[in-house]
Structure 1
Amino acid sequence: MTPTATTAPLPDSTTQQTLPEIGYYALSRHPVDPAELADEARLADREGFGAAFVSERFNVKDAAVLAGGLAAASRRMGIATAATNHNTRHPIITASMGATLSTMTGGRFALGLGRGFAAQWQVLGVPDVTSAQLSDAASVLRTLWRGEMILGHDGPLGTFDYLNLGVPVPPVPILLVTMSPNTLRLAGRIADGVVLHTFFSDAATSAAVDTVRAAADDAGRDPASVRIWSVLATVPDQLDEDDRLRRLYGRLATYLQGYPDVLMRANAWHQDDLDRIRASSAFADARGPIDATATADELARLAEVIPSSWVADSAVGDAERCAAAVARQFDLGVDSVIMHGAAPSELLPVLRAYRSIRPAVRPLPVNPGSVAG
């Protein structure tokens, strides 16, 4: 018998209604302690978060391991990688990972794939990611998850004589995690869902939604069949000042270390501002990812040099103000919102405030890559 998400035990009287449209990033604080994952997940599951997302870093944030931990610790909420990369695993390993997690969770898992960035792949000696590869990977994975055998595959993903899982599994939706117009259009053509990027302005989010929906329509798909998640930096003011600076300005500075150009283009930010940030010793002398290594003084200096407009559309302030910022995301056309940058325990006041103002959103399943149960 194929398991389904409805086989989970019924919640007890202390369990809150699940909000499928609201997610969080697991282990979003830095430095990371993976031992916190299970307690976070149990709390989030009980309090009604709809989904937990895993962002992979090549240190102590292996996506498959963390997703398995989330699966074991939760009973109701969806789980997704957002993102891992197809070029770091053999396709049969990725297929097996998705199949295992989907079966283990009763169909609550979605596989989120992304491009990563070229400089990292060059350092690691791994081939860069192309749109053709992503399309081919999605096709191969879906074929394998249907229980079909692949013989003599020769395509952008690679050449493989034989690929086969041997068993059909519950459908595994595929998400693309992106902020570039080209990949947003690709997502509209081939993906079940899209995860946007933290620190998108409201205008950038609206434009991204339009791009995905238009591409889906051009491909003959129902534009509403692609589930779109915005990622909203959520930094409530009950955190101490140094922590707020790390999760807001430190996190943004880390993205500017890795892939500034695409984020700059998406938000129409000015190059002069980026040049000024790069000239700051707090940025130029960074000892690694800034959100994990910067001192309190360095974070304060980054907050002075990064334009306030670059973080203006984040959720900051008291719980009610943060909740209102979350609710406004739906006016931009997204289906769901990831509150990024804080643990579920830190987000509980925001989640509770959101419940009191929850807008009329479309009914959604807990699988973060699906729009229909």
Structure 2
Amino acid sequence: MQSLQAGRFHRGCAAFRGAPRAAPRVRAAAAATAPAATGVRKSKKQLVFPFVKIQGQEDMKLALLLNAVDSNIGGVLIMGDRGTAKSVAVRAVAELLPIMDVVEGDPFNSSPTDPKLMGPEALQRFRAGEKLPAAKLRTPLVELPLGATEDRICGTIDIEKALTDGIKAYEPGLLARANRGILYVDEVNLLDDGLVDVVLDSAASGVNTVEREGISIAHPAKFIMIGSGNPQEGELRPQLLDRFGMSVQVKTLMDVDKRTQMVLDRIAFEADAEGFIAGCQAEQDKLTEKIMAARERLPKVKISRELQILISDICSRLDVDGLRGDLVVNRAARALVAYEGRDKVTQEDVGRIITSCLNHRLRKDPLDPIDSGTKVAILFRRLTDPEFVKREAEAKRKKEEAEKAAAAASPKKAGAWGGLPGRR
């Protein structure tokens, strides 16, 4: 059965290397995909714990919100202990994203007006002058299961139909469903590295290209990539870590008040989810409006050349490979300013997000007692706060003096070497 499928369907997707050549009509396996697409629109809404009720974990929440404002940041990697609201936060932020217009019955969540966000079939109809029927759809959250195959993720081409009927019969995968939405991989550190690479390639290029026997189909796959996992169960390769825009570490809440409130809210949600959500719907709606306003304001936000030089200087001093780190810090700082309703990035704004943007890009030294995030924060302070440098030097001097005093005060053991003659 496996070999039969391999003969008919393409396994895998290639990185986008330019627009595919002209070819026969494209049909997105309507019988298999259209019911599922309409089902998404008509299915009963799943009740999700509200984002505004998540206690603590401020770095995680900020990273998710900034990616909601600007999807070009490159997604978020959330690593931490079990039971720290990682999955809850991801599903909750999806509820904050605005309802969008899509082409009715389209498996790629195509925009009815923007050709850049259209799948192949909708784009053909649009170019033919047809007015595409629109429908409303909540921003999709597609969860990628650990057991998913490359076919399931990327989609497949029916070679038999392509050769006999001249039709590019394509069955869309999870990347098509996630277009213009969120793709979430829980336990991403346990997923096969090859599959993670495929997904991150599509997330970076915004296009998923499937190729088989000289036949190529490309469709938009622009989504926010979010991964989460427990570092005790395994780490991601550095090459894959670098592909995530931001990375945050979450820990179990130790603040008694916040911990208690989170438990009480969760119990109340499980007892009456609809009533609990209704009680904080006004806060949720306000946050959604804030995200939408930030998206509109984002193109107007400016960052000075001096700050851009500072960002690149920090990346250079930290030996960050490539330019992804520089770009992500610039984008995240602008998204933060837009989210807070301002139009100019300050030094403090850069300081708030630079650790989350760079900590996962540093080379790890198992013998170094200082973690990557602390290194980023210390270097930023050294370059931007002269008083911090003075305090650091003074603290170092006092520590050395204390060590010398302790060494001089401690009595030497009998027969201990006291140094060379004439130096005592």
Whether the TM-score (by the shorter chain) exceeds 0.5 is: no
- Which structure has the larger Rg? 2
